[in-house]
């Protein structure tokens, strides 16, 4: 990926994650909160976000497959790792790296509702609108992006580049 350029640097990300943590802490004060990270992309964001939330909370992960090695969704969603925590009666904050088509998050929202979660909200590092197919409400948004392809800070291309410390644009990206 020779044509990548920094789109959000480490400091911008850290500042925004801190702000999200403060907002979530305020909104869930006095309530039991479960952060559910969507693997693999959200693991870095979830780790940083969890340290910025000033509440007792539980953390679990879920894994769904929809992209494979492509830059576009396959349209088929498979649950490959269910959460291990009993979700019934819990306030769930689903933590995702990027909301693109919305298909995966719409599916996950329904999954958590069927498992009788008390509430389900979504926190996404990137809310991207270019290919949105399903209407999903993203309750906590790190950054809004209209279009383009991003890598780094958990975001990948063919399972590479997740370890980059910033978020990089590949080609043209617009906020």
- 166: in domain: yes
Nearest to 131 by CA among 52, 57, 72: 72
Q: Which pair of structure tokens corresponds to residue 64?
A: 């769904």
Nearest residue to 135 via CA among 115, 109, 112:
109
Return per-residue pLDDT of the chain as tens, 175 residues.
678 899 999 999 999 999 999 999 999 999 989 999 999 999 999 999 999 999 999 999 999 987 545 555 556 788 899 999 999 999 999 999 999 889 999 999 889 989 999 999 999 999 998 888 998 999 999 999 988 899 999 999 999 999 999 999 987 776 6
Which string of b and e fits 34-47 if b means at least 16 CB within 10 Å? bbbbbbebbbbbbe
Within a domain: residue 55? yes
Q: Do the beta carbons of residue 8 and residue 65 sit within 8 Å?
A: no
Q: 100 an active-site residue?
A: yes
Any domain includes 37: yes
- Name the token pair of 40: 């693999």
Look at residue 3 in the predicted model and tell me its pLDDT. Answer: 80
| C-alpha span between 49 and 71 (Å, rounded) | 26
**In contact, 162 and 41? CB cutoff 8 Å:** yes
The number of distinct structural domains making up the chain is: 1
Does some domain include residue 117? yes
CB 102 within 8 A of CB 135: yes
Does 20 reside within a domain? yes
Is residue 73 a part of any domain in this protein? no
- Return d(Cα 92, Cα 135) in angstroms, integer: 19
Domain assignment present for 72: no
CATH number of the domain residue 48 falls in: 3.40.50.2020
The residues, ordered by sequence, that sit 6+ positions from 26 with a Cβ below 8 Å of its Cβ are: none
Domain containing 93 equals 4-67+78-174
Catalytic residue among 56, 100, 139, 156: 100
């Amino acid at each position: 990926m020779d044509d990548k350029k920094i789109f959000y640097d480490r400091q911008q990300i850290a500042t925004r994650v801190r702000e999200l943590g403060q907002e979530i802490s305020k909104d869930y004060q006095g309530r039991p909160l479960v952060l559910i990270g969507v693997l693999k992309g959200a693991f870095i964001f979830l780790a940083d976000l969890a340290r910025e939330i000033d509440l007792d909370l539980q953390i679990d992960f879920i894994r769904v497959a929809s992209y494979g090695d492509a830059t576009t969704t396959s349209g088929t969603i498979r649950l490959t790792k269910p959460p291990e925590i009993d979700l019934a009666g819990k306030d769930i904050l689903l933590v995702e790296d990027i909301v693109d088509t919305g298909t995966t998050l719409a599916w996950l929202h329904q999954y958590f509702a069927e498992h009788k979660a008390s509430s389900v909200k979504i926190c996404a590092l990137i809310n991207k609108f270019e290919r949105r197919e399903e209407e999903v409400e993203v309750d906590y948004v790190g950054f809004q992006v209209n279009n383009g392809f991003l890598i780094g800070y958990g975001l990948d291309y063919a399972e590479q580049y997740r370890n980059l410390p910033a978020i990089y644009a590949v080609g043209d990206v617009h906020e």
